[in-house]
Amino acid sequence: MDVLSDAVTAMRTGRPHSSRTVNSGSWGFRFPPGKGAGFHGLVQGTAWLIPPDGGEPVELRPGDVVLLAHGTGHGIAAHPDAPLVDAVRAADGSWPTPPARAPARADETLLVCGAYQVSRARAHPLFTELPPYVHIPARAGAHPRLRAAVDLLGAELADPQPGSDALVPALLDTLLVLMLRTWWLTERPDRTTGWSAALSDPAVTAALRAIHAEPARAWTVEELGAEGGLSRAAFARRFTTLVGRPPLAYLTWWRMTTAGRLLRADDAPLRAVAQRTGYTSEFAFAKAFKREYGMAPGRYRRGGGPAVPAEVRSS
């Protein structure tokens, strides 16, 4: 188990959608704000990102990928001054299927785009720390896995084959993980603080993996520090500085996040959910859950809510 995979699993909901567009001339699309996340991959030609924060337009080159994790509105256009038309999606988040056509000509722009449904009720800090947009530029020899995934997705969208309906969503999920991994581990300008530093720190990473692999275990700070070869005090300081909360506070947060996902995912008895998240009795689990979510586990399972994070209710 690892924290990045778990963070994606905890937030991803529903079915992702994708689109392949071929554009020429003075084209431009306006994407309104939404609840999900999305990305654009430039396969051929040139394009410009019109940022969601009103900043300077960003030139995109073939192989570049842009991730917009917070669902903020933005534009994609042939040039910064191109007029924008609204990109309209169906109620399920999908784009209309473009008519079949010949491959893009050399003078046309080819884009591969994707959209994800995500739950922000308990967003992992790996997501909340992301900037308004993440631009991952193509460089010779860099990020071969990411580029290969974009190319493969584009090929499946351009020429669907038997099995494409299963392969495309899997490729979209693969791309999301690759974009996040690439940003946090190689592209983020400041890798000395926050989650980029946490994921690069062997001791903190070892503790995070231990927590995510066995959330039900009665971990102590000393045991978690030993996972990374540090003393209790040194580990506690380093973990708190990089992750943003003490080790046992993060353990509790992840247990409750896992519990919420289990309650919504299946009809396992409450006792089983309690045991899988480190609680010896339903009563203790229900008390901790209500303190964290503001409602009883049964009500949450039935769709009651929205849940209000404990730190928001106490502010």
Is 137 domain-assigned? yes
Domain termination site, one of 131, 155, 187:
187
Residues of the chain with pLDDT under 50: 312, 314-315
Please tell me the pTM assigned to this model. 0.83
Place of tokens 């964290």: 292
What is the tally of structural domains in the chain?
2
Q: 234 and 210 in one domain? A: yes
What is the CATH classification number for the domain harbouring 275?
1.10.10.60
Tens of pLDDT, residues 225-278: 999 999 999 999 999 999 999 999 999 999 999 999 899 888 889 999 999 999
Is 278 domain-assigned? yes
Q: 154 and 88 in one domain? A: yes
What is the CATH classification number for the domain harbouring 64?
2.60.120.280
Measured in whole angstroms, how far is the alpha carbon of residue 116 from the centre of its chain? 9
Q: 138 and 32 in one domain? A: yes
Q: Containing domain of residue 227, as a range?
A: 201-313
Q: 205 and 183 in one domain? A: no
User: Shortest CA distance to 39 belongs to which of 58, 16, 59?
Assistant: 16
Measured in whole angstroms, how far is the alpha carbon of residue 56 from the centre of its chain? 25
Tens of pLDDT, residues 195-239: 888 888 999 999 999 999 999 999 999 999 999 999 999 999 999
Domain termination site, one of 159, 187, 215:
187
Q: 269 and 180 in one domain? A: no
Q: 281 and 135 in one domain? A: no
User: 232: Cβ–Cβ under 8 A, 6 or more apart, which residues?
Assistant: 221, 222, 225
